[in-house]
Amino acid sequence: MQRTRLDTDRIRAARRVIDPVFLDTPLYRCEALEPELGCAVSIKLETANPVRSFKGRGTELVASLLAEHGPRAVVCASAGNLGQALAWSGRGRGLDVTVVASRFATAAKLDRIRALGAGLELVDGDHELARERAADIARCEGIRLVEDSLDIETCEGAATIGLELVEAREQAEQTGPAGPAELAGPAELAGPVPPFDAVLIALGGGALATGVGHVLKDLAPGVEVICVQPLGAPALTRSWHERRVVTTDSTDTIADGVAGRRPIPAVLNDLLLVADDAVLVQEASIVAGMRLLLDHAGLVVEPSAALGIAAILEDRDRFAGRHVVTIVCGSNVDGDAYRRWVGAAALPHRA
Amino acid sequence: MQRTRLDTDRIRAARRVIDPVFLDTPLYRCEALEPELGCAVSIKLETANPVRSFKGRGTELVASLLAEHGPRAVVCASAGNLGQALAWSGRGRGLDVTVVASRFATAAKLDRIRALGAGLELVDGDHELARERAADIARCEGIRLVEDSLDIETCEGAATIGLELVEAREQAEQTGPAGPAELAGPAELAGPVPPFDAVLIALGGGALATGVGHVLKDLAPGVEVICVQPLGAPALTRSWHERRVVTTDSTDTIADGVAGRRPIPAVLNDLLLVADDAVLVQEASIVAGMRLLLDHAGLVVEPSAALGIAAILEDRDRFAGRHVVTIVCGSNVDGDAYRRWVGAAALPHRA
């Protein structure tokens, strides 16, 4: 592999700095999903922690470095999850955290940022305007700007998920197909199920994808790294396919966590080195993915966390008979919106 | 502590036999719940595994012993979660598993038992009739009967949760109140939050309560062990208070996982040694607990898993300002029933 900005030894060291509450998250096969999807599916669950998303892995790294060496004041732009995680990590270390967000951001995320004691400034525009405003604040006030996906800590924090995946895969290989989790589920999977051979990763700014992708390509290069973005927010996926930064004028998706318009060149460069594919999915598939995860896995997820399931739904042939991991990266939803998405028709079990 | 039937060294050893997918489950503080509850609340999440309940810890122990020494055929009565877990553990070890359940059991649980390849026999009565029928099958066919809460493996498997709780508490004590998870949430919690001082445990047959209670009383005797049962299925709680087995003629609760009528004397004896209290909660509180866990923690839970939150809701004064752990023990629900329970009014966030 050509060198990305990330470093596997630094990622290993990061695990000693991140609060254990964010590490060693559940990874388990979810057979109840499989008849609908036609492949073996394992879930890497990043929602069972104090901020309900994977972002704490990166903000723990950022905040611990700042607490040791840096300024005590920090600002970030966020669709909500990074801001909530930075507020949590900063509070524990006495940092002064400001979050800039779109006033259209998910209310539940904004509520939690406030509840965690961070300053919250709303801009009358989308996430890209929030990014500009956060940069202005950092410049004017001379405080630290945390830029999601550009700051290497946000990528390397997320990359610790990759280490956990690789370690689990090595264990599964040692146990062999006779292990308890390895027997057949649906008809498509008759016979032993091998260790996973693909990982589906939500693609937003790129921290999660470049982080997990870097570790997989370094330590388990045979595993396919597939990024998934909504058709309504395709900038980084298009950039990956055209091998140059492509921006869009707007976004139109319920997947608020991944709705960027202006990819960061350095992140694209890394993504070009570690991703095997980047695919776009429709809104209806994202909603169908959320419903499947609720009905068959008992999981409440935010739209970004259903992108992987959406990708399988849109291309069952590609995954047929394989073993796929999808990272369930967040569960911060507004109740009303969630109820609309997964609605009454979505719960098929009849008593 | 007087001696229970359980043994802490055996419980430690059990961790080497149980598939790691069931161990080291998330334990995290959930501040979004706290304004409603008036105390610090941490969740021990037992639903992010292949069977969506804690029962795999016990069935792994049962099945591994049988695979080594015992008969290859096994039968159990189950409200659904034990059966699903025994089917999973038995399948991985080539055991022939039969589950007897009430035909009124949760359909989603019965579906999963079938999907995992176990034989399923339904009885036209409640869980106590299923217990009788399972015992008959074992006797007639000369196969192993697994009796939940009576068989020590079911208690000692569940008890591994207690080890994880004690270890987390010791770590929190070492980190001290300056640790990141220890700062104040709602007004009731101004100032540092100490390590937890009470654990709320769903009480059904008693395996979970005697298991976790044994370990806590052995290794962290200052922690209050509080069992919670529905008013509509009070047999073991009444037995605990009267210090003798009290049976009931019927049960009337949505908490299917804990709806027994005939406590087992040996289990009651252990419970008398390890529980500090046993309380009964109303159905409305169980539903309110399920809604709170959905709205503020993003967790789908079955009614039994909301008993702890229900207990706090019914006695806020008792827990005010304290730090309480509640074990979220299962998430196997029928979609339609779940939608009815948590209904439209339950999702308060307005976009």
Q: How many CA atoms lie within 13 A of A310 on its CB side?
A: 28
Q: Which of A50, A88, A336 sits opposite B350 (nearest CB)?
A: A336
> Between A and B, how many residue pairs show a Cβ–Cβ distance under 8 A?
131
What's the pLDDT at A344? 52
Paired with B101 in beta bridges are B122
Chain A residue whose CA is closest to B183: A92
Find the DSSP H helices in A40-105. 56-68, 81-92
* A259 vs A338: CA distance, rounded Å: 18
Domains, chain B, with CATH or none = 8-53+152-346 (3.40.50.1100), 56-146 (3.40.50.1100)
Paired with A228 in beta bridges are A202, A279
Paired with A108 in beta bridges are none
Given a contact cutoff of 8 angstroms between Cβ atoms, the answer to whether B320 and B271 are in contact is no
Parallel/antiparallel/unpaired status of strands A40-45 and A27-29: antiparallel
**Set of chain B residues whose Cβ sits within 8 Å of the Cβ of A93:** 180
Smallest Cα distance from B61 to chain A, Å: 13
* B139 vs A103: CA distance, rounded Å: 67
Q: For A99-156, write each residue's pLDDT tens digit.
A: 999 999 999 999 999 999 999 999 999 999 999 999 999 999 999 999 999 999 999 9
Q: Is the pTM of this model over 0.80?
A: yes
Q: Judge: B50–A108 Cβ closer than 8 Å, yes or no.
A: no
Q: Judge: A32–B115 Cβ closer than 8 Å, yes or no.
A: yes
What's the pLDDT at A132? 97
Inter-CA distances, B23 with A324, A341, B54, Å: 22, 33, 9
Chain B residue whose CA is closest to A350: B336
Q: Judge: B344–A339 Cβ closer than 8 Å, yes or no.
A: yes
**Set of chain B residues whose Cβ sits within 8 Å of the Cβ of A180:** 19, 60, 88-89, 91-93
Q: Helix or strand or coil: residue B45?
A: strand
Per-residue pLDDT of chain B (351 residues; tens, 9 = 90+): 789 999 999 999 999 999 999 999 999 999 999 999 999 999 999 999 999 999 999 999 999 999 998 789 999 999 999 999 999 999 999 999 999 999 999 999 999 999 999 999 999 999 999 999 999 999 999 999 999 999 999 999 999 999 999 999 999 888 765 444 444 445 455 556 789 999 999 999 999 999 999 999 999 999 999 999 999 999 999 999 999 999 999 999 999 999 999 999 999 999 999 999 999 999 999 999 999 999 999 999 999 999 999 999 999 999 999 999 999 999 999 988 999 999 854 444 333
Q: Which of A48, A93, A115 sits opposite B45 (nearest CB)?
A: A48
Smallest Cα distance from B246 to chain A, Å: 31
Radius of gyration (C-alpha) of chain B in whole angstroms: 19
Measured CA angle at A145 (ends A139, A150), to 5 deg: 125
Q: Which of A24, A92, A107 sits opposite B351 (nearest CB)?
A: A107
Q: For B240-251, write each residue's pLDDT tens digit.
A: 999 999 999 999
Given a contact cutoff of 8 angstroms between Cβ atoms, the answer to whether A301 and A330 are in contact is yes
Q: For A239-285, write each residue's pLDDT tens digit.
A: 999 999 999 999 999 999 999 999 999 999 999 999 999 999 999 99
Interface ipTM above 0.90 = yes
What percent of chain A has pLDDT above 90? 88
Q: Judge: A334–B348 Cβ closer than 8 Å, yes or no.
A: no
Chain B residue whose CA is closest to A108: B349
